[in-house]
Amino acid sequence: MDPIIKKVTVKSVITKSNLPVCDYAVNPYVGCTHACRYCYASFMKRFTNHIEPWGEFLDVKYWPEISHPERYAGKEIFIGSVTDPYLPQEEIYRRTRALLEQLQGSGAKINIATKSDLILRDIDLLKTFPGLRIAWSINTLDESFKCDMDNAVSIERRLAAMDQFHKSGICTVCFISPIFPEITDVKAIIERVKKQCNFIWLENLNLRGSYKAVIFDYIRQKHPDLLSLYKNIYSDGDHSYWRRLDMEIRSHAAEIGLRYVTNDDSIRNSLDDLPVIVNFFYHDQIKKNAKPHATL
């Protein structure tokens, strides 16, 4: 079923952000037609007038021309904190493209999170921004599981886009997020991407709100053997699984010569030949209240 699409006018598209990873956040759309079953951003629905389920509506934002874009020089601007800026509808409405054109030459440092390869359309424009960083969310190499979880393009298309940006000298990130316990093969993804990105970010599946029941129903139906583990983690609050995975990935990184840090380390860009692995797990031993880039 096609999503309900509405054009809306907003006073400004750039908002001051409380996220520790940026100064400003920009979302050219309200809603996200990827309809990820684990999407934390689904909370945004309550701020809209939509009765449709999350993933089945999209508001296309129109705003006045950005005045004095030079005021964002040196500022971190994160595009896509609660939507994907390169949804399929971007090919028609081009709101992300318009945003980039208005900010071109401003000196703003652009961060983008996406699950799309449509971003390749804008690669030449994006190259003009200093300190550019692009992250693709990839939490599986299994296309069947991917299709169970979202409506975005295939994993292979995301990986191909990442590779092309990396070869163009742009800072690229493989965001392994969210990690589904005993479903996401983190080591396999690391091996697949280690030569085509500058960073590998790790983030655990964090269940809360209405989608907690959705994911539990999925595990119950598709992976009943894992149900007790998920209850242990997400109902009983046992973090031992994440501590164990942390140690396993730390050890694996050492074996293959990759640097492994926690999100306490302030690294924005890496020029190393091999990527830096950054752990954004929520468990107490890493950093209880850390908040990474948004999951897409």
* Structure-token match 């501590």, residue found: 243
> Quick check: pTM over 0.75?
yes
Q: How confident is the model at residue 284 (pLDDT cuts 50, 70, 90)?
A: very low
Mean pLDDT of 242-250: 96
Average model confidence (pLDDT) for the chain? Answer: 90
Q: How confident is the model at residue 52 (pLDDT cuts 50, 70, 90)?
A: confident
CA distance 283 to 61: 37
Token pair for 135: 């992250």
Task: Confirm whether 296 is domain-assigned.
Answer: no
Task: Confirm whether 290 is domain-assigned.
Answer: no
Write out the residue range of the structural domain in which residue 256 sits.
4-279
Q: How confident is the model at residue 8 (pLDDT cuts 50, 70, 90)?
A: very high
Task: Confirm whether 286 is domain-assigned.
Answer: no
Mean pLDDT of 43-71: 83
Task: Confirm whether 193 is domain-assigned.
Answer: yes
Mean pLDDT of 195-206: 95
Q: How confident is the model at residue 55 (pLDDT cuts 50, 70, 90)?
A: confident
**CA dist 167 → 44, 129, 132, 197 (Å):** 36, 17, 14, 9
Check which CATH number belongs to the domain holding 265 and give it.
Answer: 3.20.20
Mean pLDDT of 187-198: 97
Task: Confirm whether 295 is domain-assigned.
Answer: no
Dihedral sign computed on CA atoms, order 247, 187, 203, 279: positive
Give the number of domains in the chain: 1
- pLDDT greater than 70 at residue 269: no
Q: What's the confidence (pLDDT) of residue 179? A: 97
Q: What's the confidence (pLDDT) of residue 211? A: 87
Higher local confidence (pLDDT), 248 or 293:
248
Task: Confirm whether 291 is domain-assigned.
Answer: no
Give the type of residue at 176. Answer: I
Structure-derived torsion over alpha carbons of residues 82, 88, 91, 93, reported in degrees to the nearest 10 = -50
Task: Confirm whether 288 is domain-assigned.
Answer: no
Q: What's the confidence (pLDDT) of residue 262? A: 82
Residue range 60-76, pLDDT digits in tens: 999 999 999 999 999 99
Q: Lowest mean pLDDT: which of 46-55, 232-241, 263-272?
A: 263-272
Q: Lowest mean pLDDT: which of 62-76, 134-148, 228-242, 250-264?
A: 250-264
- pLDDT greater than 90 at residue 14: yes
Q: What's the confidence (pLDDT) of residue 146? A: 98
Task: Confirm whether 251 is domain-assigned.
Answer: yes
Token pair for 190: 């690391």
Q: What's the confidence (pLDDT) of residue 295? A: 36
**What percent of the chain has a predicted confidence (pLDDT) above 90?**
77
Residues 6+ apart with CB under 8 A from 187: 248, 249, 252
Angle at 38 between CA 9 and CA 28, to 5 degrees: 20
Q: Quick check: 129 and 77 in contact, CB under 8 A?
A: no
Q: Lowest mean pLDDT: which of 149-158, 199-208, 226-235?
A: 199-208
- pLDDT greater than 50 at residue 122: yes
Mean pLDDT of 271-278: 81
Mean pLDDT of 4-17: 94
